[in-house]
Structure 1
């Protein structure tokens, strides 16, 4: 039942919200969902299933994530009282100093090219999760990805389109990438069967490294072998190659940076909201911004939390602008987000909400530190980042992300957002069959920034899954979208917990986001009054936003957000799953 003054939930959805008692999976690609469900059907738990699906995502969504990238996860074993953060974000290499980048003639970390590579951590994080919480042998978990890499999978139209946009870059500067993604000299066609035998061979070497009856020892051996194999990337990228800056640079990642396992576990942050508890990773991600937004909005009347009204949409946008300014001014490796969640700070931020669109960048001032101010580079392209990765004519790339959620009949839940290592990130390493990521582009070449480039420090990431305690129910959810990840999750959570929507109704509902934050991706622009919205919000709402001073870009009816979610009610044993219809790609499965 919807709250008083809140737009009622729709009477239909694009697909049913799945329910059952056995197991549920949802992700941004149907094949990854099917893989996870196949593992559950064969007796694996949620962690086995998520890991198998995660390796398949490397194959089926290579423009959105890769083995050379990173991930952030939140998970909760059935017998645990609270969730845990799966930390799969690698640190900056020892040679990644501000002085070195400045000496290279750069004022920003490039958005493409090996110089922007952090230590790859996604594969190590998947293996760590499997070792400690899964039950399957590594060979069984990797068998699905090995099969798709060896036998082929059908390329998405978006993959083919991405290759087409960087075809000249591949031909002229990255020949190994052209060899993998442009057979015969032309971009691989949508629907073509694409194979990656080099990556299949790497996965087989991981299995071989960990042979034996001791499952845990076998996975640890595979983790060590993985770091050794990554040394080939250091050798290849040490040669200068083209970056998004239009200039050539050598990477600084070395074998010495790969000695220690990069993945680990951390405690999450949490806040109460309308009788629930919402969990996020710490301030090395953007996750605490969502917590701050929910704290600001919590005491407001229900009708001001409704994205389907002008007042509600305006309130959400202005709140997001405030918390994203706090992100850019205060978040980074080692930062403590707790101060931004304190009652006095939250109350002051709530008082900053006005009736007109703010055109100012307004971070909170904290008692113990002044806000750092990033360079505010104006951007007139309000729609940037609204869908699949956009690729500039220069060869500069913007990557997106993928996501997977799993819940099993024992009550385990997991949400993981993998990203980085996009096929357009940097040159393919021929012996590996993939490229490295570019997460260092989210750091600043300014020592005063909390997100400054520092050797050994993690770059602040946009990856931001969510886990919610709703009474006896555990909800795992997330979305791709870079800076939009928490922006798209906020309306979904409000519709569910204030408006009474089901997860599927909330995912289907039209959404919006602001561009009034400093872009986390190169070239780090800012559009202070920009709002990107789906047309289905309606002329009254979109016109009302424009009347309040927002510069509205209409993004079509079904274009924003790739949310998915699963839930398990531990009291009844009932499970559910929901997935995004946009792009005709994401699916949920379960029974």
Structure 2
């Protein structure tokens, strides 16, 4: 018997896993009410906006994969594109060579709330007023401040006081950030949701059906009081991570013109499984490339390359570097992405032959279809000197690196995180959703609305001619990356994680435990985690730590020594410090549903029966 910190849930009615217990319970309440997986996911997603404001918000973005019984999985893309006025020339005129990581300039068209509304209208059964109940209660009555949220508030309070007074009024009144255990209320956000509820109720009173009433909510967001407040706020300059005050580029015209849409997934087969991801406008296909590469490595998953061994971990880290190098060279919201070649078995085998016995310290994109790769400026910024030089794995050095990648600093240079939610219902519908952006540290709070905008444009480059070059109407390549797996054409596994560039590292590791060893969901979630920070971050200021890998201490000294002997610069973290995975599953033959949740951080939760 494998012992885990939490039970793996099992039942036949419905299962939810989320990064915060409030999101999980809000979703489960909709299943208990008779709603389907979409109703549950929307309720959970809205509740997470209120419960984890340091991780996501109504002004952020959303990527989602869902599957109905008997149908192919589909992507809902609610990643908003760049506004009409956002161009390389516009930023260059301001003297910028990177899109700032915070403030108003980096705001894409907010897609998260519109995405939830779109999914609810098209595939749900309940009203907006019903699915927003839990979120509304959290905003009005308060959410207990967790240690993680309190750390972000304490770090950001000086910046709020000096530069973002509207954020200070909400999160650090009188300059004092809300402490751990206190109740954080957001009356302005509650008023926003009540205004949207009123729009739905007014439409219904005029005889509109459920879908028509939800369309009225969408109009209120895009062209009513929400859109008007966003447009007006973006006209006032605010401090951003460039060190200067800038106004935003987003306008009411942008909001009125854009809507979320559906797309086919991209997928590859791996040893009896088919893994589905969002398209090349996301980093999701990097997961699929890792599957192709590692499936071509002789003996992968067995013997000296069995999961948990130094050989396995080395192979995975090297495949990760190759896949992410291709991401930086080839991925973007562009018709020129060589998608078929990048995911072909022959290209995967070609890349697999580059994996040697020692760690590569180079960035090595490939040449799919014979095309020469072109990388953006990958200047190393903030290399982690403590790993591989002196004091290998020294706790303070590792902690400094983790904080640099996870907490905003006092000047508002943000690096927070994301949320995730998975749902499966008794009819077999499955949803995997990764909302993010609109963090409290990303941008000042719009006082009339109670939430900030996102900063996803920081992931686009200000170099012309790249697949991910900033351009009006183009989606910045996002790190948001939900996952859904099928077997025999049936949806059997939905999973995902926060983590930025690490999302498509932690998720493959989880999947390998499931697919190669038969591990249970909870067992795979709790397995010792590791990841590479070799490639530049997708987030401003795009720092890199060449050759560096971080691993939880539980991975074992034998593995750590084996990686170091192969040339990896290994930093050892705490035993429970890496990853925030969620997962649900369904056995099509028995109808048995399962769920697991991450114990790290003490907020993730699974619920079901």
TM-score, normalised by the number of residues in structure 1? 0.96
Look up the match of 1:464.
481
Return the match for 2:218 from 176, 199, 223: 223
Query: How far did residue 385 of structure 1 move?
Result: 5.3
> Could you say if the C-alpha distance between residues 16 and 470 of structure 1 is closer, same or farther in structure 2, counting changes exceeding 3 Å?
farther
CA distance in 2, matches of 1:38, 1:221: 25
Look up the match of 1:44.
35
Do residues 87 (structure 1) and 74 (structure 2) align? no
Do residues 427 (structure 1) and 424 (structure 2) align? no
CA distance in 2, matches of 1:516, 1:263: 33
Do residues 17 (structure 1) and 35 (structure 2) align? no
Look up the match of 1:4.
none
Do residues 152 (structure 1) and 142 (structure 2) align? yes
Query: How far did residue 343 of structure 1 move?
Result: 2.7
Look up the match of 1:182.
172
Look up the match of 1:568.
586
> Could you say if the C-alpha distance between residues 473 and 569 of structure 1 is closer, same or farther in structure 2, counting changes exceeding 3 Å?
farther
Look up the match of 1:366.
368
Return the match for 1:380 from 378, 383, 400: 383
Q: How many residues end up aligned between the 2 structures?
A: 581
Query: How far did residue 368 of structure 1 move?
Result: 5.6
Do residues 324 (structure 1) and 321 (structure 2) align? no
SS in 2 for 1:489: helix
CA distance in 2, matches of 1:11, 1:107: 51
SS in 2 for 1:583: helix
Contact 2:150 2:177 in 1 (8 A): yes
Cα deviation code 1:512-559 (max 9, x no counterpart): 000111210000122220001100011111111111111111111001
Query: How far did residue 305 of structure 1 move?
Result: 4.9
> Could you say if the C-alpha distance between residues 429 and 398 of structure 1 is closer, same or farther in structure 2, counting changes exceeding 3 Å?
same
CA distance in 2, matches of 1:129, 1:388: 32
Look up the match of 1:291.
288
Query: How far did residue 386 of structure 1 move?
Result: 7.4
Query: How far did residue 473 of structure 1 move?
Result: 5.2
CA distance in 2, matches of 1:477, 1:582: 16
Do residues 140 (structure 1) and 130 (structure 2) align? yes
Gaps spanning 5+ residues in structure 2: where? Answer: 388-397
Gaps spanning 5+ residues in structure 1: where? Answer: 1-9
Which deviates further from its counterpart, 188-197 or 312-321? 188-197
Query: How far did residue 566 of structure 1 move?
Result: 0.6
Cα deviation code 1:148-206 (max 9, x no counterpart): 11121211221111011111110011000000101232001111111111111111111
Query: How far did residue 367 of structure 1 move?
Result: 2.8
Contact 1:322 1:363 in 2 (8 A): yes
Look up the match of 1:514.
532
Contact 1:223 1:261 in 2 (8 A): no
CA distance in 2, matches of 1:90, 1:137: 24
Look up the match of 2:394.
none
SS in 2 for 1:553: strand
1:271-350 matches, within 5 Å, as 271-299=268-296, 300-301=298-299, 302-303=301-302, 305-334=305-334, 335-350=337-352
Return the match for 1:406 from 411, 419, 423: 423
Contact 2:16 2:24 in 1 (8 A): yes
Look up the match of 1:5.
none
Return the match for 2:181 from 191, 196, 221: 191
CA distance in 2, matches of 1:511, 1:398: 20
SS in 2 for 1:525: coil
Query: How far did residue 447 of structure 1 move?
Result: 1.0
CA distance in 2, matches of 1:521, 1:214: 42
CA distance in 2, matches of 1:412, 1:561: 26
The alignment's C-alpha RMSD in Å is 1.5
